[in-house]
Amino acid sequence: MLTPVAYLEARDPARNIHRAYSLAYGQDVFGNWIVETTYGRIGAKGRTIVTLVDNEDQALQYVRKCLKRRQFAPKRIGIAYERRTTF
């Protein structure tokens, strides 16, 4: 069962930027710890990346690393991500 951590969106209609980014972590059916990252254009299927980690602490560390990278979005895409859902 995966625990959702964050759902972020970056929108700028004037520049046609509509991006979504979500993170979830937990254990799969085999007991492996995973972090699931989904991102892409809002309204599209997007891309999902599943990362295997050794334990829950490493999963949370990886989540923090991913969220920290989103803080630098204004430098990369010109607009900041905003949290849309709180879990």
**Mean pLDDT over each residue of the chain, to the nearest integer:** 93
Determine contact, residues 70/21, Cβ cutoff 8 Å. Answer: yes
The structure tokens listed for 79 are: 């607009």
Helices assigned H by DSSP within 4-84: 56-70, 73-76
pLDDT of residue 79: 93
- Residue 86 predicted with pLDDT over 70: no
Q: Given the DSSP bridges, would you call strands 82-86 and 2-12 parallel, antiparallel or unpaired?
A: antiparallel
pLDDT of residue 87: 62
